[in-house]
Amino acid sequence: MERLILFPRAFPPYFCALNCFLINFFMKKNWWKILSVLLLLYTIIGGLLFEVPRVMILNETIRNLYFHVCMWFSMMILFTVSVVNAVKYLNKHDLKYDILSKQYATVGIVFGLLGYATGAIWASFTWADPNQTFVASFGAIAKDPKLIGAAIALLIYFAYLVLRGSIPDMDKKARIGAVYNIFAFAFLFPSIWIIPRLLESLHPGGEGNPALNPKDIDARMRMIFYPAILGWTLLGVWITSLKVRMAILNEKKLLHS
């Protein structure tokens, strides 16, 4: 590997690019970032071009599965990582875990909002009544239990950010934030996984878990769907890692000034 870095300038540019790629891949442990980009490229190209089953009403909008559902998967994974870091903070009292916990929650919120945006596009083609005004359709759609559950999840984490913002002391903020994060996560579960199953809903997934049940998804779609989940989640982790590095730099600036 040493020799790869020491290639002279005389080599053609594509060789340097390859060299750069190899160094990034093997030496800086950045292989997962490259994997994320590749998976997302595959998701976007394959998701828009590959064969999908013809389903009534859904038609071509079925391709939104690779984007909309993956956003919620990523959000849940990021929130779970956030709560794990909160537990670690309470155990070890290391501010690093607090920063991780906060940043994972923030990026989770972004993914939740993107999930809503993609869901709104989907709903406008499948659920909305074209003969009614936008406001009338919106009122009917917004009552859906799945949407309410997701709204509760986002509200919980907005409240988490407000709570953190209201405490000036750094250690106290971290401790109280972690406690609320863990407490709220216990409620997140029923609001997303149990309540929507008790109430009737237009949204698919009333019985069991349609996204993970192989019988419900066509084999051709699974070929893209599972890599897509991984790709989006890795992208979320990547964004978070950048935000964490920025937050740590800011903390250092605060401490040394």
List interacting residues with other proteins (CB under 8 A). 90, 148-149, 152, 155-156, 158-159, 162-163, 166-167, 172, 175-176, 178-180, 182-184, 186-187, 190-191, 194-195, 198-199
Cα–Cα distance for residue pair 157/165, rounded to 1 Å: 12
Angle at the Cα of 71 (from 33 to 96), degrees rounded to 5?
A: 55
Other CB atoms within 10 Å distance of the CB of residue 66: 25
Nearer to other proteins, 49 or 162 (CB): 162
CB of 148 to other proteins, least distance (A): 8
Residue 233 C-beta: closest distance to other proteins, Å: 24
CB of 141 to other proteins, least distance (A): 18
Minimum distance between the CB of residue 193 and other proteins, rounded to whole angstroms? 10
CB of 76 to other proteins, least distance (A): 16
Q: Secondary structure of the chain: what % helix, strand, coil (to 5)?
A: 80, 0, 20
199: phi then psi, degrees, rounded to nearest 5: -105, 155
Q: Is residue 122 a contact partner of residue 64, using CB atoms and an 8 Å limit?
A: yes
SS3 label, residue 183: helix
For residue 228, how far is the Cα from the chain centroid?
11
If the CB atoms of residues 166 and 257 are measured against other proteins, the closer one turns out to be 166
CB of 160 to other proteins, least distance (A): 8
Distance between CA 180 and CA 174 in Å, rounded? 10
Q: How far is CA 181 from the centre of its chain?
A: 17
Q: Which of 7, 183 has the CB closer to other proteins?
A: 183
The answer to whether 224 and 66 are in contact (CB under 8 A) is yes
